[in-house]
Amino acid sequence: MKKKKSKGDPKAGREEESHTCCWCRFPLLCALLQLAFGVAVTVLGFLMAGVSSSLPLRDTPYWAGIIVCVVSLVGFVMLCISYQPDEKTCVQFTVKLTYFLLSALALVLCVVAAAFAAHHYLQMTKFTCDTVLESCQCKVDTADPLSRTFVYQDAADCSSVTSMLSLYLILQMVLNLIAALVCLLACFVMWKHRYQVFYVGARFYPLTTTECQQQKV
């Protein structure tokens, strides 16, 4: 005779939990948002690199977008792994840890990319530019002979280049900050799922009739 599992049996609850769909456990929305914003940051970074070949790497943050895309792919891989309670498989634990660490790395890189874009944008608001030999040369203070000169190669029209770069820098700030918030949310969800940071109170299981009889005896 097979014993029927009571509704309050914790083992039964864990077995039911292990049979639910893996798509319902992992926040799929986080992975989709990471992929969307990662692609947007990457494409915008390559567009900025095409405006002028002399732009430094920090001002074309496609590297941050690529990392965010890689994080989202790791999240999708996690969706394909069969769920086991309490992380009983080494593969599940490894993928979870990798996703958490990459999300933290992507968070830092997106914040750094947004800071670089904000710094460059603030400098461009004070630029005075002139066209010299098919390049745009800009200075913050023309009266200071020691002031740094910013040169944008392959840019004959300074007004169009500065206006386009200003727009791209604003978009980079917005997209990178949103991507950083999504990565922060993903780290928080993974940390909460692992350590259960919210206290939900003691959990009591009702005794079955057989357990009550055993206690009385």
Burial 158-193 (b: 16+ CB within 10 A, else e): beebbebbeebbebbbebbbbbbebbbbbbebbeee
What type of residue is 13?
G
Q: Which residues pair with 108 in a beta bridge?
A: none
pLDDT at 214: 52
What are the residue ranges of helices labelled H in 19-140?
Answer: 28-51, 62-80, 90-124
pLDDT at 84: 59
Mean of all residue pLDDT scores within the chain: 76
Assign 2 to helix, strand or coil. coil
C-alpha 86, offset from chain centre: 25
pLDDT of 74 higher than 60 = yes
**Rounded CA separation 174/165 (Å):** 14
Higher confidence at residue 33 or residue 140?
33
pTM, to two decimals: 0.72
35-73 confidence digits (pLDDT tens):
999 999 999 999 988 888 788 888 899 999 999 999 999
Cβ atoms of residues 33 and 184 within 8 Å: no
User: Token pair for residue 163?
Assistant: 């206006």
Of the ranges 9-23, 109-123, 125-139, 201-215, the best mean pLDDT one:
109-123
Assign 72 to helix, strand or coil. helix
pLDDT at 76: 87
pLDDT > 90 fraction of the chain, expressed in percent and rounded = 30
DSSP 113-178: HHHHHHHHHHHHTT-EEEE-SSEEEEES-TT-TTS-EEEEET-S-HHHHHHHHHHHHHHHHHHHHH
DSSP 55: -
CA-nearest of 82, 112, 109, 114 to 95 is: 82
**Rounded CA separation 66/61 (Å):** 9
**Rounded CA separation 33/151 (Å):** 36
Cβ atoms of residues 68 and 179 within 8 Å: yes
pLDDT at 169: 92
